[in-house]
Amino acid sequence: MTCRCGESGRVQAKHFFRRTVAGTTFTSDADVDSCAGCGEVHIPASLMIAFERAIAGELARRGPVSDETFRWIRKAAGLERGELAQILGVTPETIAGWEGERRPIDRAAWLLVASMVLDSIEGPRPVRARLKAPQRKVASPPELAIGLPAGGMTARVLTLIASSARCSESDLADALDVDESALQALLRDLATLGLVSPTPNAGTERSWAPLTEGPAALLRAAVEAGVDLDTPLPRATPGETAKSDPRLRAAGATWRLTSS
């Protein structure tokens, strides 16, 4: 890729990320390409996404429960206000009120969205364990260095498979909010390359296991096999996730939140 200055040579440089949310400044760094001539840095979009997801993960684990953190984790979960309002059985105006400090944030809604964010980063976990963490009164540090999770969708699929206990295809699709048929096609391609393998399951759904131990090693093996870790997958059709995820079925139109 040729830089605007006309130089085509690239050298590696260190880029430092910094963002303050809810009183905590989050920092991280990553190796990026820069122009050998003028030094202009090229920051892939996947790295920016990874940094924002890392912040959302820390907020979802630690809190605090507030309008600012709710807005951040909602966006990280890929939920539009209207979509989340439909899931929770409230109006989009209620969501806007929570995020704009016009009405108290509903703790149950915050915890549900935080759980969805953590599912997309760490893989599906028991809801009870998810709900306990933000209840612990832990002071937010003024500054926190965080690692960057995988940013591209294919990288996120491989990371979840390598990090989680056995995940079914529907578990992965729900956690990442992607179309299950497209995910199945990707998993078959990854299996053909010797990166993952289907495992026996008591039900009708397939689960997948890594053929290389550890997320970092699995991602390296994928790169060596020529896999584009940033390949996107289409999002799930609106409403399909709520049909398949029991937590969202429980949060349907019959559940009216206290602040609505």
Q: What DSSP string describes 6-37?
A: S---EEEEEEEEEEEETTEEEEEEEEEEEETT
- Cα–Cα dist 172/213, whole Å: 19
CA distances from 230 to 5, 10, 176 (A): 27, 21, 14
pTM: 0.65
- Cα–Cα dist 146/13, whole Å: 19
Q: Report how far apart the first and last C-alpha atoms of the chain are (Å, whole number).
A: 52
The tens digit of pLDDT for each residue in 137-160 reads 556 778 888 877 666 888 888 888
CB 79 within 8 A of CB 113: yes
**Domains of the chain listed by start with CATH number:** 10-145 (1.10.260.40), 153-237 (1.10.10.10)
Task: State the amino acid at position 26 in one-letter form.
Answer: F
Q: Output the average pLDDT for the chain.
A: 80
| DSSP helix/strand/coil, 168 | strand
The tens digit of pLDDT for each residue in 204-255 reads 678 888 998 888 889 889 989 999 888 888 887 755 544 444 444 433 333 3
Least confident of 22-36, 161-175, 239-253: 239-253
pLDDT at 126 (0 to 100): 62
Longest Cα–Cα distance of the chain, Å, equals 61
List, as own/partner pairs, every contact residues 154-157 make where C-beta atoms lie below 8 angstroms and the sequence separation is at least 24, other chains included: 154/186, 154/222, 154/227, 154/228, 154/229, 154/230, 154/231, 154/233, 155/46, 155/219, 155/222, 155/229, 155/230, 156/120, 157/183, 157/186, 157/187, 157/190, 157/233
- Cα–Cα dist 176/78, whole Å: 9
| DSSP helix/strand/coil, 171 | helix
Q: Kindly state the average pLDDT of the residues 122-135.
A: 64
Q: Kindly state the average pLDDT of the residues 29-53.
A: 84
